């Protein structure tokens, strides 16, 4: 900041920015002069000579300043004890995240006093609450759901292996390496599905009963909505909540970087810790991953029913040779694939297209980010409350003053770059590559796929455990190799292929017929690619009798899988360059 922009009377001078905005050479010395200036604009009416920089915005801001914003200022120091509140994540997710809805209500303050806050949730209230709810489930509950679902499936499979299962289980035959192996079907995967759904929805509730639910900050619950004085103090001290937070979670929506208060929260966090301990979650990613995951579960259930159907069509297992087993294995897989195509591929493709379309906006938003152009509630409603019709003080002036107080955090002590420009530069040049590297393109972190799309196939292949224990040796190794390829090659590829094809090429949402046609075309492409991957996994593994050749086939399959993920990651990083 230059000397002419130096603070006066202990407050930073934001008036010069408005003078620059008006393209005049007049330097106004304080907020009173700014108020009188905009008052004169408001009284003079429209004037083409003064229309530069949106004079209507200036007039409405002037009326807001004259309406009683004097004395309001943001603070970044320690919060008072009665304001330093956090809430259990269980309360945020209660009743399927009803509090996250745009029209959801909160009675009073539900937070409790806390010295530290685990996660500060930064989001745009204009986006759908159901999408935020699924995003929180994916971040906080999916890993526990995956671990417990696999553990339950292993427990059920071991109970079947040692004949202590409380329910009868049907045996089926698996064709691997030219040999037929007797396996169990259905129980482990179904129990895993039930466990996954239960833990995914109620994990934080379980932790809350043990006193260990995640501690988060959500403004609607941690700021008293009924006590206007406390509410005002908490809002003005928003930076203090970030100061005592261990982690920032950004639930990104296409309108996130257009909101002034979201930009202020981001500025507060960048000032404190850069991008350390920051998670950016695209709001459409969780629905896409969950659609793929539960579509896979549906396909598996159809496959289980296909096992029962084929027993009626082909007779008893004892009358079937190895070639018959292979034929009906292929029949069951094809039947399951065709019957569940609508749910497994078409619906996830449609949702993934929405994810891809929203992510296409992200690079341009970051490239052209300007905090001056960010929207806020007061300016959007011309500083008049839409319900009470009372005058609203302008939040933009408060936030710009605070950013100027944080001058050295964004510009450096020896630089003369204006703070607002320095903050915009930091978002465009520093934050943009980091965000695109983590959430850009169709690339999804492998650990996230392990907690979603890999779980159904893991639970299904766990049905091989009884046969592996009974057979031992090379046959057990063959079944284990088959389970590994199904879980860690096919599982991740399903989600990655659907998302990459959904993001490829052009898109159209303006016309219903065109939208449906693109979904069907991209779904067809996904089905063909996934069918090829399935064939590459199952046909060589089923036909090759020697273990060495099976290992070679497995290694060959791992190579394109790694290439797919590296290509997706390269596209994400390439978008940031």
Q: pLDDT tens-digit profile of 316-336?
A: 544 555 555 556 566 666 665
Enclosing domain of residue 378? 84-406+417-572
Q: Which of 136, 97, 176, 101 is nearest to 479 (CA)?
A: 176
Whether 523 maps to a domain, the answer reads: yes
Cα(302)–Cα(485) distance, integer angstroms: 21
In the numeric block, the tokens 């007049």 are attached to 26
Cα(85)–Cα(118) distance, integer angstroms: 11
**What does the block give as tokens for 388?**
């009470």
Whether 67 maps to a domain, the answer reads: no
Q: How many domains does the chain have?
A: 1
Buried b (16+ CB within 10 A) or exposed e, 110-140: bbeebeebbbbbbbbbebebbbbbbbbbbbb
Q: Pseudo-torsion of CA 128, 130, 133, 134, nearest 10°?
A: -110
Q: Is 409 helix (H, G, I), strand (E, B) or coil?
A: helix
Four-residue CA torsion sign, 184, 185, 191, 193: positive
pLDDT of residue 139: 95
Whether 5 maps to a domain, the answer reads: no
Cα(351)–Cα(286) distance, integer angstroms: 10
Burial of 57 (0-12, 13-18, 19+ CB in 10 A): middle
Q: What is the pTM of this model?
A: 0.80
pLDDT of residue 488: 85
Whether 46 maps to a domain, the answer reads: no
Under 8 Å between Cβ of 153 and 303: no
DSSP E strands, 413-453: none
Angle made by CA atoms 206, 147, 471, in degrees to the nearest 5: 135
Whether 71 maps to a domain, the answer reads: no
Cα(33)–Cα(44) distance, integer angstroms: 16
Instruction: Say which DSSP state 350 is in.
Output: H
Whether 43 maps to a domain, the answer reads: no
Cα(380)–Cα(90) distance, integer angstroms: 33
Angle made by CA atoms 434, 440, 445, in degrees to the nearest 5: 90
Q: Which of 266, 255, 265, 570 is nearest to 436 (CA)?
A: 570
Q: Which of 484, 470, 476, 541 is nearest to 178 (CA)?
A: 541
* Regions of the chain where pLDDT drops below 70: 1-71, 104-108, 167-179, 182-185, 305-344, 411-417, 440-443, 510, 541-547, 549-550, 553, 557, 559-577
Cα(231)–Cα(229) distance, integer angstroms: 5
Whether 25 maps to a domain, the answer reads: no
Cα(37)–Cα(477) distance, integer angstroms: 82
Whether 472 maps to a domain, the answer reads: yes
Helix axes 454-461, 142-161, angle to 10 degrees: 10
């Amino acid at each position: 900041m230059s000397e002419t922009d130096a603070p006066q009377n202990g407050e930073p001078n934001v008036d010069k920015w408005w003078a620059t905005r008006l393209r005049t050479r007049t330097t106004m010395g304080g907020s009173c002069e700014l108020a009188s200036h905009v008052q004169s604009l408001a009284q003079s009416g429209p004037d083409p000579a003064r229309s530069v920089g949106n004079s209507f915005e200036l007039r409405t801001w002037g009326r807001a300043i004259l309406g009683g914003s004097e004395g309001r200022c943001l603070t970044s120091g320690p919060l008072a004890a009665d304001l330093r509140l956090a809430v259990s994540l269980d309360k945020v997710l209660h009743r399927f995240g009803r509090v996250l809805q745009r029209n959801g209500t909160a009675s009073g303050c539900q937070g409790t006093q806390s010295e530290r806050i685990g996660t500060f949730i930064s989001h745009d209230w204009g986006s759908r609450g159901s999408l935020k709810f699924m995003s929180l489930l994916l971040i906080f509950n999916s890993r526990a759901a995956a671990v417990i679902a696999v553990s339950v499936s292993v427990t059920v499979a071991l109970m079947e292996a040692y004949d202590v299962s409380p329910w009868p289980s049907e045996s089926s035959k698996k064709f691997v390496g030219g040999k037929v192996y007797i396996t169990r079907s259905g129980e482990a995967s179904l129990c895993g599905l039930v466990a996954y759904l239960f833990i995914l929805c109620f994990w934080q509730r379980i932790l809350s009963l043990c006193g260990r639910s995640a501690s988060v900050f959500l403004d609607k619950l941690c700021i008293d909505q009924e006590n206007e004085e406390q509410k005002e103090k908490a809002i003005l001290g928003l930076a203090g909540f970030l100061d005592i937070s261990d982690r920032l979670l950004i639930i990104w929506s296409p309108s996130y970087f257009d909101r002034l208060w979201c930009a202020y929260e981001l500025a507060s966090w960048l000032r404190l810790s850069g991008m350390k301990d920051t998670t950016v979650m695209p709001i459409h990613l969780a629905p896409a991953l969950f659609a793929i995951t539960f579509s896979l579960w549906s396909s598996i259930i159809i496959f289980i029913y296909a096992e029962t159907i084929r027993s009626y069509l082909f007779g008893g297992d004892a009358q079937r040779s190895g070639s018959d087993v292979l034929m009906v294995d292929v029949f069951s897989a094809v039947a399951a694939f065709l019957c569940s195509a609508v749910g497994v591929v078409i619906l996830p493709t449609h949702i993934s297209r929405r994810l891809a379309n929203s992510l296409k906006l992200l690079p341009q938003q970051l490239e052209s980010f300007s905090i001056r152009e960010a929207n806020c509630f007061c300016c959007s409603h011309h500083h008049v409350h839409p319900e009470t019709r009372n005058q609203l003080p302008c939040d933009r002036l408060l936030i710009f003053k605070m950013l100027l107080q944080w001058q050295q955090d964004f510009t450096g002590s020896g630089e003369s770059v204006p703070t607002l420009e320095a903050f915009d530069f930091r978002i465009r040049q520093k934050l943009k590559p980091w965000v695109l590297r983590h959430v850009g393109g169709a690339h999804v972190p492998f650990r996230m796929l392990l907690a979603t799309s890999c779980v159904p196939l893991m639970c299904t292949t766990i049905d091989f455990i009884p046969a592996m224990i009974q057979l031992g040796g090379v046959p057990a190794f063959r079944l284990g190799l088959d389970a590994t390829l199904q879980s860690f090659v096919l599982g991740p590829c399903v989600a990655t292929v659907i998302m990459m094809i959904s993001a490829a090429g052009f898109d159209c949402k303006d016309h219903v017929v065109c939208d449906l046609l693109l979904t069907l075309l991209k779904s067809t492409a996904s089905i063909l690619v996934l069918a090829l991957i399935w064939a590459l996994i199952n046909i060589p593994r089923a036909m090759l009798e020697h273990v060495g050749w099976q290992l070679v086939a497995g290694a060959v399959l791992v190579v394109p899988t790694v290439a797919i993920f590296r290509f997706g990651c390269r596209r994400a990083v390439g978008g940031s360059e």
